[in-house]
Amino acid sequence: MRPERKIFVRTAQDGRKNEQGMVMVVVLLLVAVLVVLGTTGIITVTTDMKISSNYRESQKALYDAEAGAQQVIATLRTTPNYPTSAGSPTTVNLTVPSGFNFSSSVQLTYVANNLYRFQITGNAANNASKTLEVHITRNPLYPATADGAVAMYGGGPQVQFKTGGGGDLNIDGYDYPIPANPSCNGNACRTASSPATAVPGLYTPSLTPTVNGDAGSHLGGSTGSTPQVGRGSNTEADWQAFVSMILADPSLYQSTLGTRAAPAVTVVPGGSTLNGSANGAGIIIVQDSGEFHMAGNSCFEGLVILLGNGTLTSTGTSIVYGSTVTINHASKLVDVNGTTDLYYSSAALANLQNISSLNPVKMASWRDVQ
């Protein structure tokens, strides 16, 4: 017998069933791919949003830190508080305006002459913060150094000392500290000079001054009892430019004396007299034919600038700590035959930095340290 053959016939309906199964598989694969792509897209968008948010808050922290740096400068302009050495920083307290978030105080560090450094931090959301290290400079508008306890830049310089020995030096270029008590009186205002630092007692840029009396007993400084002629740091033109700048702007000066805590520029007009019966500090400009009269046992700390025939006189025992400058004269007599003593003091001159209008503060540089 022949084997029985079975014949299978595929109908169109069977083919359609197989095709429908393949379509289902493809659809499922596409759905899976779309789910993966969608999830990846969501994750990417979410990550980008977080990065964007963090960057935005980081920038806000930076802007706040920059605002804080400007606040430090503004505070120093109105309330000077500068360190004098690298190991003694000062604290600058800040007012943080509404809507800002930065340090409420900074430590101001001395770097070099008229150069200072501080760090300030700005904060924002997402724990964002930026710390800036800022260097600032001050550029005094007045000549920053003294050529002598008395520096005479005009023509015909003359000094009248006491005759005979005995008594204190009347003009001394050795460095005197300022009195511990700014309200001192009489002998309590006297301090002892330091032999470590000194300038000439009497300085002229080119003309040898006429010296009367006993200079050997009453003139001291880096050149002893001999006046220093030439080799100074300033010129008469420097002082003239400074005085002209002050007189051109009444907002820079006043008619009364400043104090050690609040030194000021005082102008004595020509033909008038300012009686200084109390201690003062800052810069006094005595115009031609004006007079600064130190009454009683007072002392002044800073710069005394005599123009033309402007004079410095005293009754009682008076001391000027700092430097006395004369300019704009064809002939000039500084008379210390009485009871006025003119002593160089770096501390008194350093306090001039607290006259904020004459010490503009500027940002020199900054860098991000966080």
Rounded CA-CA distance 81/115 in Å is 13
pLDDT value at 16 more than 60: no
The tokens for 236 are: 């008469």
Mean pLDDT of 126-152: 92
The tokens for 235 are: 């010129």
The per-residue pLDDT for range 185-194, each reduced to its tens digit, is: 888 999 999 8
Q: Are 237 and 243 in contact (CB under 8 A)?
A: no
The per-residue pLDDT for range 306-363, each reduced to its tens digit, is: 999 999 988 778 899 999 999 999 999 998 877 789 999 999 999 998 887 888 899 9
Give residue 21's pLDDT.
65
The tokens for 291 are: 């007079």
Q: Which of 282, 307, 308, 304 is nearest to 293 (CA)?
A: 304
pTM for this model (two decimals):
0.74
The per-residue pLDDT for range 84-97, each reduced to its tens digit, is: 888 899 999 999 99
The per-residue pLDDT for range 28-75, each reduced to its tens digit, is: 788 888 877 777 777 776 776 666 767 788 899 999 999 999 999 999
Burial of 87 (0-12, 13-18, 19+ CB in 10 A): exposed
Percent of the chain with pLDDT over 90: 60
Looking only at the bridges linking them, the beta strands covering 115-123 and 105-112 are antiparallel
- Tell me how far CA of residue 223 lies from CA of 12, 177, 211, 343, in angstroms: 126, 20, 15, 14
The secondary structure of 158-209, three-state, reads: EEECCCCCCCCCCEECEECCCCCCCCCCHHHHCCCCEEEEECCCEEECCCCC
